[in-house]
Each structure stands twice: as C-alpha cells, then as structure tokens.
Amino acid sequence: MERKGSFTMLLITALLVLVSALQREYFLVTEPASWNDAQQHCRSHHTDLAFIRTKEEANHVSALGNGAWVWIGIHRDTKNHTLWYWSGRRTSTFTVWKPGEPNNHMDLSCNVKINFVCYQETPKMVLVKENRTWEEALEYCRDQDSDLPSLLSEDEQNSAKKTTLEAQTSQVWTGLRFLAGQWLWVNGDKMEYQDWPAGEMPFCPAQYLHCGTLDKEEEHWGTRDCKEKLNFLCL
C-alpha cells in the first residue's frame, strides 16, 4: 500500500507541475520559398517551421520578419478547411489571428515564395541505458529534474526514434500510462497526437499492459507490463 500511495503522489505532482527542458531559438531564412519547400528546409537544418505558443514568441517572430509576410508552421487541413494545424501536428491553444481571420478572401497561396522562420529546440531526449520498471524509470527522471517524455508531434516522435536506436532493449519506456480507464501522458500533456498501431487506441488493454513504449524498429507505440525492466527516455 505504501508503494501505491507513493506512486499516486508522483502522478498528482506530475499533473500539477509541468517540467520543460526545452530551449527554443528562431531563425529567419531570407531565401524565398513556397510553404512546402520552407518546411523541408527547416526540417533539414533545424527542427521545423516556426511553432508559436505564446504572445512573446509571436512578437519575436514578427520582429524577425521586420513587418513583412513570412511563412510559419501553421497550415490549413487539406480535407477540412475549417481546421488549422502546426507543422508536424504539434498542438498549441495559442492563436493570434487578425480580426476576421482566417477567411477565404485574404489567404496566401502556399505556392507563393516568401521568406520564412524556422525554430530549433534543444536539448534532445536522453536515452538511459539502464533496465528499470516504468515506475523506477519515472522516479529516475524526476530525480534528474526531468521526466519521462510525452510525444506530442511527428517531430518529437522522429526525434525519440533516433534516440532509441542505441538502446540495449528492443523497446524503451515513455511517459505513456493507462490509468483510471484512459491513456494519458504522465506529465499532464494533452493526448492530441497519437501513433497507435493501425491508428487504434487500445481502450481495454490486456491485463498489466498499462505502460507505453517506443520500439527501436516499429513505427508505432507499444504497450508492455509496467513491471518489465527496459531502457528509457528522459526529457
């Protein structure tokens, strides 16, 4: 009972305190390109096209553009034109649209070539080559002022995949956990981006398969017994 109570307190603490180990830099690229070419350039040389979460970041990106139009990472869904997403399916509740926008009257074609802003996030995830249970891995990361990672976008998924290639186990622990009848990220991040096999979330996972992993070879998330001992990622 004492261990269960201790773990419950860890989860409560995680949901109240979000730990961020990322530092973000923005770069103006003065080589006019279409939105798709700009995205490819940013992904090749940095992290991605600019992803904006706060008013301060929006002001900084605007200042880099010096008042001119520049491409950033937000784009319209190709199937549902009422939906907008950030490149890599990153999620942000922050928006700073001009009054009356977005609309279909002043939109700029993605093929127009203009300057663009990329961003870079550091440091990357750290692989810990020690075999621990999911709870032990969580405690280890927390002791390092870190956390088991959430994978919130295609970019973060790809970054994590590269990091796991050096793992000594076929799968590594992430911050994914099945608790109280639902899957969640242990640090409280919203689960909007998902990468389950066949695109289907396991709503009723088999007994004990309540902790999430990332496989060295497979492209999707996995579920394992939380008491197994695996390498793990910290962020």
pLDDT for residue 88: 79
Type of residue at 148: L
Q: What does the pLDDT average to over 118-145?
A: 90
Cβ burial, residue 212 (10 Å; 0-12/13-18/19+): buried
CA distance 184 to 235: 17
Please state the length of the chain: 235
CA distance 229 to 226: 8
pLDDT for residue 230: 98
* Model-wide pTM > 0.75: no
Tell whether the model's pLDDT for residue 4 goes beyond 50.
Answer: no
Q: Tell me: the pLDDT tens digits for 147-156?
A: 999 998 887 8
Q: Tell me: the pLDDT tens digits for 181-197?
A: 999 999 888 888 899 98
CA distance 235 to 215: 17
Ordered structural domains, the chain, with CATH: 2-21+123-234 (3.10.100.10), 23-121 (3.10.100.10)
Range name among 97-101, 111-115, 184-188, 221-225 with the lowest pLDDT average: 97-101
CA distance 70 to 53: 17
CA distance 57 to 180: 36
Compute the half-sphere exposure of residue 118: CA atoms within 13 Å on the CB side of its CA: 21
pLDDT for residue 111: 93
